[in-house]
Amino acid sequence: MYVTLGKYGSFEDTNAIIDLGRILLGDGDSRGEHIREEFSKIPPFIFPFRTLLDEVINSVLLRYADRKLIEFIWNSKIVDPEELLNVMIWLEKDYGKTFGKPTLNAFFDPEEGFMFLEIVFPHGDWNSWKNLARNVKEKMRNKGLETLASKVAIVCLEATREQLL
């Protein structure tokens, strides 16, 4: 799968995308600080770093959600797109092998409107879903992402189907 970063190129390898996200958004990686320092030396009229960063965020978020949802996230300012992207990359890296690649969805109530974002994993039984949701929310809160944690629900599709049968 290719992720296109507009005029800045494309990436085919998932790990390269994850590394790019970590470098540009920072993940305790010294390379990220180095790149940010180098970009900060370029005058904004020559290379608008914020625009590039927003394009990167959008392009990588397209791995997890459709364009309409990404626009909703940016326009509504419900959550910080950078924080959301960091969480999605972390979830895919740490939990993807067990639960499958996570995707994003929004839950709307017909009367109330937007309720929350769903981070949906395709696999996982009822007990593992319960543990996953608890652990992910706890880690998010411990990292200072309380607002994001309050706006997302962790869902395992297999577990929901399991309960319906």
Tens digit of pLDDT for each residue in 133-160? 999 999 999 999 999 999 999 999 888 8
Which residues touch 91 (CB under 8 Å, ≥6 apart)?
A: 102, 119, 136
Query: Which amino acid does the sequence have at 53?
Result: L
Where along the chain do its domains lie?
1-63, 65-165
The pTM of the full predicted model, rounded to 2 decimals, is: 0.69
> In the prediction, which pLDDT does 18 show?
52
- Provide the b/e sequence for 58-97 (b: ≥16 CB within 10 Å): bbbbebbbeeebbebbeeeebbebbbbbbbbbbbbeebbe
Eight-state DSSP code of residue 64: T
> 27 or 122, which is more confident?
122
78 phi and psi angles, rounded to 5 deg: -65, -45
- Rg of the chain, C-alpha, whole Å: 17
CA distance 101 to 93: 9
Lowest mean pLDDT among 19-23, 120-124, 133-137: 19-23
Q: Are the C-beta atoms of residues 105 and 120 closer than 8 Å to each other?
A: yes
Average pLDDT over residues 111-122: 90
> In the prediction, which pLDDT does 50 show?
59
> In the prediction, which pLDDT does 48 show?
54
> Measured at the alpha carbon of residue 46, what is the angle toward residues 44 and 49, in degrees to the nearest 5?
50
Share of the chain above pLDDT 90, in %: 48
**Residue 39 tokens, joined:** 């970009």
Confidence of residue 22 (pLDDT cuts 50, 70, 90): low
With 90 as the cut, is the pLDDT of residue 102 above it? yes
> Measured at the alpha carbon of residue 92, what is the angle toward residues 86 and 95, in degrees to the nearest 5?
120
DSSP bridge pairs for 116: 107
**36-94: pLDDT as tens digits:** 554 455 455 444 555 667 888 888 899 999 999 999 999 999 999 989 999 999 999 99
Give the residue carrying structure tokens 């895919």: 92
CA distances (Å), 165 to each of 129, 132, 145, 158, 160, in order?
17, 22, 35, 11, 9
Instruction: State which CATH number among 3.30.300, 3.40.50, 3.10.450, 1.10.3470 fits the domain covering 65-165.
Output: 3.30.300
> In the prediction, which pLDDT does 31 show?
45
